[in-house]
Amino acid sequence: MTTAPADPPPTDHRARQGRRRAWLEEASAPGRHWIRAATGLLLLDAAAGAGFAAALGGAVQTATDALQIPGQPLAQGRLAGWIVLGLVCAVSRGIAGREGELCGNRASIEVRVRLRARLSRALLARTDRRPDDAATLGTTITALAGGVDSLDGYVSRLLPARKAAVPAQMLVLLATALGSWVSALLLLGTLLPFALIMALAGGAAADEARQQFDALARLSGLFADRIRKLPLILAARAERRQAALLGRASADLHRRTMRVLRLAFLSSAGLEFFAALSVALVAMYCGFSLLGLLPFRSPEPLTLGRAVFVLALAPEFFAPMRRLAAAYHDERAAEAAADRMAPLAEPSPVLAAATHAPLAAPPHLRFEAVSVLYPGCDRPALDGLEMDVRPGEMVALLGASGTGKSSAIKLLLGLAPLAGGEVWIDDAPLSGLGDIAACASWMGQDSFLIPASVSENIALSRRDASLDEIRAAANAAGLEWDGAGAVLLDRQLDERGGGLSGGERRRIALARALLKPSALLLLDEPTAHLDPDTEAALIGTIRAAARGRTTIVATHSAALAASADRIVRLHAA
Amino acid sequence: MRPAPHRPDSIRALIRRECRKEGGRLLAAAISAALVGACSVLLLGLSGWFIAATALTGGAAAAAAFNALLPSATIRLLAILRTGGRYGERVFGHDAVLRAFSRIRPALFSRLAAGAPETALAMPEGDAVSRLVNDLDELEHQAVIRHTASWSWLATLAAGFALLLPFGGWNVTAAVAVLVAGLHALARMLDRHARQHENGLAAARAALRDVLSLLCDAGAELRTYALQDWIVSRIGALSLTQAGAERRIARIAGWMALARVSASGIAGMIAVAAILGTAHDGAWGIERAALCALAASMVVEGAASRLQGAQRWGEARETERRLDAMARTHAPGRSTGGRPTGAPTLDWRDGTMPTPPGTIVALLGPSGSGKTTLLHRMTGLLTPPCGCMAIGGCDLAALDPADARRCFALMPQDAPLLIGTIRENLTLMRPCATEAEMWDALHVAALDERIRRMPHGLETWLAADAALSGGERRRLALARTLLSDAPWLLLDEPTESLDAATEMLILQRLPERLRRRRQGALIVTHRTAPLAICDEIHALSPIPKPPVDAVCPAKQ
Segment A153-189, tens digit of pLDDT: 899 999 999 999 999 999 999 999 999 999 999 999 8
Q: Which of A110-124, B310-324, B366-380, B392-406 shows the lowest mean pLDDT across its residues?
A: B310-324
Q: Which of A11, A42, A88, A98 to mutate to test the interface with B (most CBs of B within 10 A)?
A: A98
Domain assignment present for A310: yes
**A276–B82: do the CB atoms touch at under 8 Å?**
yes
Integer Cα distance of A160 and A327 in angstroms: 10
Which among A397, A398, A395 has a CA at the least distance from the CA of A564? A395
**A120–B289: do the CB atoms touch at under 8 Å?**
no
Which residue of chain B is at minimal alpha-carbon distance from A305? B52
Statement to judge: residues A393 and A302 lie in one domain:
no
Please determine, for residue A352, whether its predicted confidence score (pLDDT) is greater than 70: no
**B123–A483: do the CB atoms touch at under 8 Å?**
no
Backbone dihedral angles phi then psi of residue A425, each to the nearest 5 degrees: -105, 110
CA B374 to chain centre: 32
N residues, chain B: 556
pLDDT of residue A139: 67
Helix (H) or strand (E) holding A144: none
- Chain B nearest CA to A540, separation (Å): 18
Sheet holding A365-372, edge to edge: A382-389, A365-372, A418-425, A428-429
Which among A235, A130, A379, A134 has a CA at the least distance from the CA of B496? A379
B65 interfaces chain A, CB cutoff of 8 Å: no
**A243–B106: do the CB atoms touch at under 8 Å?**
yes
pLDDT of residue A482: 44
Contact between B293 and B271 under an 8 Å Cβ cutoff? The reply is yes
Statement to judge: residues A417 and A516 lie in one domain:
yes
Statement to judge: residues A385 and A314 lie in one domain:
no
Integer Cα distance of A452 and B226 in angstroms: 18
B207: chain A residues, CB-CB within 8 Å: 495
Which among B98, B77, B69 has a CA at the least distance from the CA of B35? B77
A442 interfaces chain B, CB cutoff of 8 Å: yes
Mean pLDDT of chain A: 81
Statement to judge: residues A251 and A396 lie in one domain:
no
Statement to judge: residues A399 and A270 lie in one domain:
no
Task: Give the mean pLDDT of B64-79.
Answer: 77
CATH of the domain at A518: 3.40.50.300
B548 interfaces chain A, CB cutoff of 8 Å: yes
Grouping H, G, I as helix, E, B as strand and the rest as coil, residue B175 is helix
pLDDT of residue A99: 94
- Chain B nearest CA to A52, separation (Å): 7
Integer Cα distance of A69 and A518 in angstroms: 99
Task: Give the mean pLDDT of A117-141.
Answer: 68
Domain assignment present for A1: no
Number of domains making up chain A:
2
- Chain A nearest CA to B49, separation (Å): 10
Integer Cα distance of A526 and A416 in angstroms: 19
Domain assignment present for A10: no
Statement to judge: residues A121 and A226 lie in one domain:
yes
Helix (H) or strand (E) holding B49: helix B23-57
Rg (CA), chain B: 35
Domain assignment present for A544: yes
Residues 82-111 of B with CB under 8 A from A: 82-84, 86-87, 90-91, 94-95, 98-99, 101-103, 105-107, 109-110
- Chain A nearest CA to B431, separation (Å): 8
ipTM: 0.78
pLDDT of residue A5: 42
Q: Which of B69, B315, B322, B419 to mutate to test the interface with A (most CBs of A within 10 A)?
A: B419
Please determine, for residue B523, whether its predicted confidence score (pLDDT) is greater than 90: yes
Q: What is the DSSP letter of A146?
A: I
Residue where a domain terminates, one of A347, A379, A405: A347
- Chain B nearest CA to A390, separation (Å): 21
Per-residue pLDDT band for A347 (boundaries 50, 70, 90) equals low
What is the separation, in whole angstroms, between the first and last Cα of chain A? 40
Statement to judge: residues A175 and A256 lie in one domain:
yes
* pTM confidence score: 0.75
Statement to judge: residues A74 and A96 lie in one domain:
yes
Integer Cα distance of B305 and A81 in angstroms: 30
Q: What is the DSSP letter of A7?
A: P
Q: Is B126 left (phi over 0), alpha (psi -120 to 50) or beta?
A: left
What is the separation, in whole angstroms, between the first and last Cα of chain B? 33
- The partner residue sitting opposite A97, judged by closest CB among B90, B109, B257, is B257
Per-residue pLDDT band for A551 (boundaries 50, 70, 90) equals very high
- The partner residue sitting opposite A93, judged by closest CB among B80, B265, B285, is B265
Higher pLDDT, A321 or A298: A321
B277 interfaces chain A, CB cutoff of 8 Å: yes
Integer Cα distance of B411 and A460 in angstroms: 42
pLDDT of residue A355: 54
Question: What is the residue range of A468's domain?
Answer: 356-569
pLDDT of residue A572: 61
Which residue of chain B is at minimal alpha-carbon distance from A224? B129
- Chain B nearest CA to A241, separation (Å): 9
Task: Give the mean pLDDT of B336-354.
Answer: 79
Please determine, for residue B533, whether its predicted confidence score (pLDDT) is greater than 80: yes
Contact between A67 and B282 under an 8 Å Cβ cutoff? The reply is yes
- Chain B nearest CA to A271, separation (Å): 9
CATH of the domain at A329: 1.20.1560.10
Statement to judge: residues A328 and A370 lie in one domain:
no
Residues 180-219 of B with CB under 8 A from A: 205, 207-210, 212-219
- Do strands A365-372 and A418-425 pair parallel, antiparallel, or not at all (unpaired)? antiparallel
Residues 473-532 of B with CB under 8 A from A: 484, 496-499, 526-527
Tell me, what amino acid is at B529?
A
Residues 422-481 of B with CB under 8 A from A: 423-424, 427-429, 431, 459, 461, 463, 465, 469-472
Statement to judge: residues A360 and A326 lie in one domain:
no
B13 interfaces chain A, CB cutoff of 8 Å: no
Domain assignment present for A99: yes
Residue where a domain terminates, one of A347, A378, A397: A347
Statement to judge: residues A365 and A342 lie in one domain:
no
Residues 132-161 of A with CB under 8 A from B: 134-135, 137-142, 144-146
pLDDT of residue A213: 63
**A400–B526: do the CB atoms touch at under 8 Å?**
yes
pLDDT digits (tens, 9 = 90+) for A166-175: 999 999 999 9
- Do strands B390-391 and B346-347 pair parallel, antiparallel, or not at all (unpaired)? antiparallel
Domain assignment present for A7: no
Residue where a domain terminates, one of A347, A366, A382: A347
Domain assignment present for A12: no
Domain assignment present for A13: no
Integer Cα distance of B49 and B166 in angstroms: 13
Statement to judge: residues A332 and A255 lie in one domain:
yes
Integer Cα distance of A406 and A553 in angstroms: 9
